Chain A
Amino acid sequence: MAVSESSARRYSLGDPDVRLMLQVREDSASAFEELVLRYQGRLVTVLEHLVGSRDQADDLAQEVFLRVYRARKSYVAGAKFSTWLFTIANNVALNALRSRSRRHEVTLRSRDSGPLGARPLDVMLQASSGQMPARQLDKAEMRDIVRMALETLNERQRMAVLLSKFEGMSYADIAQTMELTPQAIKSLLSRARNNLREVLEPYFQHGNRPAAQNDP
């Protein structure tokens, strides 16, 4: 990517993480560690909701950091550091999802995280038997429903939603991260949010659970 000297200077002045990355380029191990500490949680959050597995999210996050390290010598300050990092994360995650879909591996329903885990109905039964406080069930059930609704989105819609919701990225930054135009992001997010509304509103109005992506 060609980056003008003025924009490189602007990003390195305005973004402390860009400055850290420039130190990583000069082989500073402590700067790299600082970046890992700053971004590990954000990265794992987005990746977990994207791929639907905590273990895989951890592995992918490590893969992303490894790619960052390996790309350090060719790094130029052409964008916010987070945009550059999530561009790598997007590519790594999409590759993993494609490879998983080639293997016909279905893991989205068999989650390894969250209080409800893979079988919310079982948990509801447990709750109704008095083993779980009702308030906790409400919260957990809500989380489970929202997660299932998110899983009904396709990968690109999900990524755009996660970057917007959890990273607070502008359409321009999401576009840069996903290598699309801002107009395409506008359409993508509009479809995604309308899909979410269509899936979630019946639940809140009539108590109908959304069908998970892998439901038969």
Chain B
Amino acid sequence: MSPQPAHADLSLEEQLVAYLDGELDVEASRRVEELLATDPKVRQALQGLDRTWELLGELETPQVAERFAQSTLEMVAVAAAEDTERSRTDASRRRRRRWVILSASLLAAGAAGFLGMSLRPDPNRQLIDDLPLLENLDEYRQIGDIEFLRSLHKQGVFAEEGGDEK
């Protein structure tokens, strides 16, 4: 066989096969034909390729069983039903998950609100605690000296009015 390729990008074998398959352009085909006309080894190689290719026609083309189409359609129908069922289950699961997340979010928000409210200082608490003082504030102001008031407290002057007020 001539080592001289007719097409620079392809090996001679590739050119011969592409020539047989009608995959060469006009110019490349013409070059192969020139080689075939002048080189008996190239011609022999081409004939060998062509002969063996034709032999593949001897391979059986199997007959498909009559039931094949029917059983294929049944299999696909079963699979499609399973797919539908699965997607319905998935949708229901997704819906349930959404409800669980929503409920959990509401609960968490409620708990956070309650916690926030209970931790926040109550402005009325201080007023209630200071109520005895506020009730007597005018009198305390008249005295003006906290140390004097403490000494009166120690002596029990305020005991009958409020018990243990400061």
Chain A contact residues, CB within 8 Å of chain B? 29, 32-33, 36-37, 40-41, 44-45, 48-49, 54, 57-58, 61-62, 65-66, 69-70, 113-114, 139, 142-143, 146-147, 149-150, 161, 164-166, 170-171, 186-187, 189-191, 193-194, 196-197, 200-201, 204
Proximity string of chain B (58-81) to chain A, C-beta cutoff 8 Å, 1 when within and 0 when not: 111111110011011101100110
- Interface 9-mer from B35-43, B45-53, B101-109, B111-119: B45-53
Query: What's the least CB distance linking A131 to chain B, in Å?
Result: 21
**What 9 A-B pairs are tightest by C-beta distance, nearest first?**
A190-B14, A190-B17, A197-B52, A200-B52, A197-B48, A196-B52, A45-B61, A40-B64, A143-B58
Residue contact A170 to B64, C-beta cutoff 8 Å: no
User: Which residues of B are found within 8 Å of A165, using beta-carbon distances?
Assistant: 53, 56-57
B21 interfacial by beta-carbon distance below 8 Å: yes
Interface majority SS (helix, strand, loop, mixed), chain B: helix
Query: What's the least CB distance linking A115 to chain B, in Å?
Result: 9
B55 interfacial by beta-carbon distance below 8 Å: yes
A48-B62, A146-B58 as given contacts; A70 in contact with B14, CB under 8 Å: no
Residue in A146, A186, A200 whose beta carbon sits within 8 Å of that of B18 in the complex: A186
B23 interfacial by beta-carbon distance below 8 Å: yes
B11 interfacial by beta-carbon distance below 8 Å: yes
B91 interfacial by beta-carbon distance below 8 Å: no
A69-B80, A186-B14 as given contacts; A62 in contact with B48, CB under 8 Å: no
User: Which residues of A are found within 8 Å of B79, using beta-carbon distances?
Assistant: 66, 69-70
Cα distance A70–B18 in the bound complex, in angstroms: 37
Chain B residue nearest in CB terms to A114: B60
User: Which residues of A are found within 8 Å of B48, using beta-carbon distances?
Assistant: 197, 201
User: Which residues of A are found within 8 Å of B75, using beta-carbon distances?
Assistant: 62, 66
Given contacts A44-B68, A189-B21, A194-B17, 14 further A-B contacts (CB under 8 A): A49-B59, A58-B64, A58-B65, A66-B72, A66-B75, A142-B58, A143-B58, A143-B60, A146-B56, A149-B55, A150-B56, A161-B56, A196-B52, A197-B51
Cα distance A95–B56 in the bound complex, in angstroms: 25
Residue contact A193 to B53, C-beta cutoff 8 Å: yes
B13 interfacial by beta-carbon distance below 8 Å: yes
Give me 27 A-to-B residue pairs in the complex whose CB atoms sit less than 8 angstroms apart, sorted by A's number.
Answer: A40-B72, A41-B61, A41-B62, A41-B63, A48-B62, A49-B59, A57-B62, A58-B65, A66-B79, A69-B79, A70-B79, A142-B55, A143-B59, A146-B58, A149-B55, A150-B56, A161-B56, A164-B21, A165-B53, A186-B18, A186-B23, A187-B14, A189-B17, A191-B13, A193-B49, A196-B53, A201-B48
Query: What's the least CB distance linking A184 to chain B, in Å?
Result: 11
B10 interfacial by beta-carbon distance below 8 Å: yes
User: Which residues of B are found within 8 Å of A201, using beta-carbon distances?
Assistant: 48, 52
